[in-house]
Structure 1
Amino acid sequence: MAKPYSDDFRQKVMQAIELDGLKKCEASQLFNISRNTINLWFKRQAETGDIKPKQRKTSPQNGKIKDGEKFRTFVKEHGDKTQSEMAQLWEGDISQRTISRALQKIGHTRKKKTYGYIQRDEAKRSAFLAQLKNPINPI
């Protein structure tokens, strides 16, 4: 989100219009801002008596992992689990994506679990390789 204009800049624009008698469209061209912005400042001044920007509301940082050392030990203990399983095991309400970002931050990488080596049958494998060497129906 864009930063609001500073208070002193707003004051200068408002003074140029009110005290110097500059028109809103001339002030908008002079200060390189839109006329709608000036209208909004006048509206805010009429409503609140001030032209300061509204304070932005920050959302609570519930999904953050604050203790890095604690997270490192947690990863050492539960490194064999998936990220979604780790998110369920971590105290507090965090998402799998938060776990992913935290793992990237500490530089932890891991390979996917593959179970192909358990299902491999050497006899079938050698028979298949022999069949590849001696095709029955050559093209």
Structure 2
Amino acid sequence: MPAPYSYDLRQKVINAIELDGIPKTEASQVFHVSRNTINLWLQRKEHTGDFLPKPNRPPGHSHQITDWQKFKAFAQEHGHKTSAQMAELWDDDISPRTISRALKKIGFT
């Protein structure tokens, strides 16, 4: 995913449109930013009061197993069962594949 445009550039574009009265199309050409992007910045400013970029999420995804001590105890107790059976017994909605990866991570396989 490309990095968002800098706040400085956003500010220059918005100021050129709002303060200097430059049409959006001209600002788009001068600053090499698409007209659609300018419209999105103006909409964001209208709704939030600023045109800051949306915060980026860190790479990866939220992990379903966060308490590894609890999972190790669970694996000791239910290690003789299949991953599918263990997934059904786990507190949260979790896939058998996630159980398999977690077992491998704790060295239980």
Question: TM tier, shorter chain?
Answer: 0.5 to 0.7
Q: How far 1:29 sits from its partner (Å)?
A: 3.5
Which residue in 2 is equivalent to 1:67?
67
Q: How far 1:37 sits from its partner (Å)?
A: 0.8
Residue 13 (structure 1) aligned with residue 13 (structure 2): yes
Q: Distance in 2 between matches of 1:27 and 1:105?
A: 53
Q: How far 1:14 sits from its partner (Å)?
A: 0.8
Aligned amino acid, residue 78 of structure 1? H
User: Unaligned stretches of 5+ in structure 2?
Assistant: none
SS at match of 1:80: coil
Residue 96 (structure 1) aligned with residue 96 (structure 2): yes
Which residue in 2 is equivalent to 1:35?
35
Q: Distance in 2 between matches of 1:83 and 1:71?
A: 13
TM-score under structure 2 length normalisation: 0.65
8 Å CA contact 1:10–1:51 kept in 2: the answer is yes
Cα pair distance change 1:63/1:10, threshold 3 Å: same
Aligned amino acid, residue 36 of structure 1? N
- Percent identity over paired residues: 60
User: Unaligned stretches of 5+ in structure 1?
Assistant: 110-139
**Structure with max Cα Rg:** 1
Q: Distance in 1 between matches of 2:105 and 2:22?
A: 54
Cα pair distance change 1:79/1:30, threshold 3 Å: farther
SS at match of 1:33: coil
Q: Which deviations, in whole Å up to 9, do the C-alpha atoms of 1:33-58 show, x marking residues without a partner? A: 211111222234345543345678xx
Question: What does residue range 1-139 of structure 1 map to in structure 2 within 5 Å?
Answer: 4-47=4-47, 49-53=49-53, 64-109=64-109
Kindly report the root-mean-square deviation, in angstroms, between the aligned alpha carbons of the 2 structures.
3.3
Aligned length: 105
TM-score under structure 1 length normalisation: 0.54
Flag the structure with more relative contact order, 1 or 2, with Cα contacts below 8 A and sequence separation at least 6.
2
8 Å CA contact 1:62–1:94 kept in 2: the answer is no
SS at match of 1:40: helix
